Amino acid sequence: MVAEHGGAGPVGPTDSARTPRFAGPATFARLPRLDQVPGADIAVVGVPFDTGVSYRPGARFAPTAVREASRLLRPYHPGLDVSPFKACQVVDAGDIACTPYDIGAAIAEIELQASGLVDTGARLVAIGGDHTVALPLLRAVARRHGPVALLHFDAHLDTWDTYFGEPYTHGTPFRRAVEEGLLDTEALSHVGTRGPLYGSGDLAEDRRLGFGVVTAADVLRRGVDEVAHALRERVGDRPLYVSVDIDVLDPAHAPGTGTPEAGGLTSRELLEILRGLAGANLVGADVVEVAPAYDHADITSVAAAHVAYDLVSLLALNRMGRSR
């Protein structure tokens, strides 16, 4: 169901024929703010938090950079045959305010504010921030939908137990999510993993938690259509959360991230796999770990903006009851 908007239909982006794309406020895709409409079906929200990183910081600046990079997005998605901003009321919900000094306090603040948005009936596409933010976002989504299936696009597993004795970091959110019962352990997959690990036990522990793994090499060898089909089969009709760490992309496609690894997906491969999820029961998503300071050409922010746009479009298809 589309939210009620006073009978006038959804309010779309600023008209680029009247106001050039480089002018005006930089909301995501130049969409209206949440406070400018009566209600929202889909809300893009920033989570500028990066205190949980273990290597290069800077993802707190991602929401601003991704919004700037999204100015060139257009309202019709030919790959999915949908005009998401006409199908649903999509808004920019601003940024979730949280402390940069205390990880535990920030997680609680993010959970509270995300839950407030989810409780209105909106489905969220969050722009992080580091991957720590996935945990409070999953708490908010699971509170409404129950344990959710998870597709986790990332170079890394993010199921380690602690870093320097800390249980809440950007490398631990999905272990905590399994322990808290937020995830449906029959439908969990990592996609795009690669690179060295601390030991073979990392993979054994990951399997014990219920995760399947599609490595970056698997995507290369099997192809995007086969991978998307297999993921779709694993998820079925379960409520689905998609978490995209931008470092799933090769550094050639996403240099601006905190923990880059060689041998990753291309932006084209990532987008095509996401499009292969059309018809899935997507209930929320995030795009995280964009660190603009390490990318002076905005390549990473552009990629993240397109990933977020595809996730919004998939949510719009979901609302319309359509598959690809």
Q: Per residue in 67-91, pLDDT tens? A: 999 999 999 999 999 999 999 999 9
Report the C-alpha gap between 146 and 139 in whole angstroms. Answer: 9
Q: How many CB atoms are closer than 10 A to CB 33?
A: 15
Residue 1 has pLDDT above 70, yes or no: no
* 286 annotated as ligand-binding: no
Domain annotation covers residue 183: yes
Domain annotation covers residue 12: no
Instruction: Return the CA Rg of the chain.
Output: 18
Express each pLDDT in 305-322 by its tens digit: 999 999 999 999 998 886
Report the C-alpha gap between 70 and 58 in whole angstroms. Answer: 19
Residue 23 has pLDDT above 70, yes or no: yes
CATH number of the domain encompassing residue 44: 3.40.800.10
Domain annotation covers residue 202: yes
Domain annotation covers residue 194: yes
- What is the span of the domain harbouring residue 134? 28-320
Express each pLDDT in 215-242 by its tens digit: 999 999 999 999 999 999 999 999 999 9
* 298 annotated as ligand-binding: no
Which whole-number Å values give the CA distances from 305 to 68, 212, 222, in the listed order? 9, 27, 26
* 156 annotated as ligand-binding: yes
Q: 216, 193 in Cβ contact below 8 A?
A: yes
Q: 169, 158 in Cβ contact below 8 A?
A: no
Express each pLDDT in 268-281 by its tens digit: 999 999 999 999 99
Confidence band for 287, pLDDT divided at 50, 70 and 90: very high
Q: 230, 189 in Cβ contact below 8 A?
A: no
Per DSSP, 77 falls in state: B
Domain annotation covers residue 191: yes
Residue 202 has pLDDT above 90, yes or no: yes
Residue 6 has pLDDT above 90, yes or no: no
Domain annotation covers residue 92: yes
* 247 annotated as ligand-binding: yes
Which strand (E) or helix (H) includes residue 217? helix 216-222
* 253 annotated as ligand-binding: no
Looking at the structure of the chain, the number of domains it has is 1
Domain annotation covers residue 252: yes
Domain annotation covers residue 2: no
> Mean pLDDT, to the nearest integer, of 25-29?
95
pTM of the model: 0.96
